Amino acid sequence: LWTTANIIEENIRLVREKVGSDEVILGLSGGVDSSVVAALLHKAIGTQLTCVFVDTGLLRYREGDQVMAMFAEHMGVKVIRVDAEARFLAALAGVTDPEKKRKIIGGLFIDIFDEESSKLTSAKWLAQGTIYPDVIESAGAKTGKAHLIKSHHNVGGLPENMKLGLVEPLRELFKDEVRVMGVELGLPPEMVYRHPFPGPGLGVRILGEVKKEYADLLRLADHIFIEELRKHDLYDKTSQAFAVFLPVKSVGVTGDGRRYDYVIALRAVETIDFMTARWAHLPYELLDLLSRRIINEIRGVSRVVYDISGKPPATIEWE
């Protein structure tokens, strides 16, 4: 019978058969696909799995801690967390062009992942969250690692220094099947049904140069936005929602006088395929509440705007 439980059992059997008693490395990003692979492999091979989680400093509010709490503490998965915020910020200093930022973030991510995984000298296999749409998209690409790079980091080419076999247990599955599998494996539905998050992370949601100060403000605003969407039961009705940091100062006035602070843009869209999208017609009362909370609770923000652009002509992300 073709049930999710059976697909999981079959996958576990195949993985065990393939890797035997060898050790396996997995790049864990906190996204759905790599998380489901982590849960599946943990069930299949336990401590033979080591995950490498590169914290770029460009993740959402407390996301790094959540990944560690979920996998390392709660599930007992072996996870090496690499705190690479300083390296990413240094590499991005002075860079304003969106495509350059993407290349820098993607390239550095791969370098750090390779540095860490080459320390795990006993590993024989590299596991990846490649899903069926990635297989079609990267048909013709030479290595499986192309997936990691192409889908998440938009850069090509990778040094072929790691001679690892590939384990890609989700290769035949579509995203919705991967989600069902994740829930069946015990991952929390809020994580499995999270909105998509781009590989370059907040790096492309801070317009122009990326600075820690900006990332910290953006994380707070984004967190308030998502928290209120969930509270108002609108999170699952929007396809993607997030805050964008605009490095422009605007005048504001509060009880203690005038302020001259940054602008946050809120973006929420409804879409089926992310190729075209409609801006989400969020209730005015919610937008009002969001603007008040963000300006009152975050020192450094004096104005909130809502993006009413469709795709096309605008893209979903601002960069």
Q: Binding residues for ligand XMP, per CB under 6 A?
A: 102, 152, 154, 196, 198-200, 240, 274, 311, 315-317
Q: How far, in whole angstroms, is CA 306 from its chain's centroid? A: 23
Nearer to ligand XMP, 75 or 314 (CB): 314
Q: 138 among the known binding-site residues?
A: no
Question: Two tokens at 76?
Answer: 């007992």
Q: Which residues pair with 244 in a beta bridge?
A: 265
Cα-based angle 250, 204, 84 (whole degrees, multiple of 5): 110
Shortest distance in whole angstroms from residue 71 CB to ligand XMP: 21
Nearer to ligand XMP, 129 or 200 (CB): 200
Shortest distance in whole angstroms from residue 238 CB to ligand XMP: 12
Asked if 155 and 191 touch (Cβ cutoff 8 Å), the reply is no
Shortest distance in whole angstroms from residue 167 CB to ligand XMP: 22
Nearer to ligand XMP, 254 or 315 (CB): 315
Q: 34 among the known binding-site residues?
A: yes
Nearer to ligand XMP, 42 or 153 (CB): 153
Shortest distance in whole angstroms from residue 109 CB to ligand XMP: 11
CB atoms within 10 A of CB 135: 16
Shortest distance in whole angstroms from residue 304 CB to ligand XMP: 20
Per-residue buried b or exposed e for 259-284, using 16+ beta carbons within 10 Å of the residue's own CB? bebbbbbbbbbebeeeeebebbebee
Q: 32 among the known binding-site residues?
A: yes
Q: What is the DSSP code string of 132-186?
A: HHHHHHTTT-SSTHHHHHHHHH------TT---EEE-TTTT--HHHHHHHHHHTT
Can you count the helices (H) and strands (E) in the chain?
Answer: 11, 9
Nearer to ligand XMP, 125 or 279 (CB): 279
Using CA atoms, how far residue 135 sits from 138, 145, 251, 261, in Å, is: 5, 11, 50, 45
3-state secondary structure of 251: strand
Q: 35 among the known binding-site residues?
A: yes
Shortest distance in whole angstroms from residue 236 CB to ligand XMP: 16
Nearer to ligand XMP, 42 or 147 (CB): 147
Q: 302 among the known binding-site residues?
A: no
CB atoms within 10 A of CB 237: 13
In the annotated binding site for ATP, the residues are 29-35
In the annotated binding site, the residues are 29-35
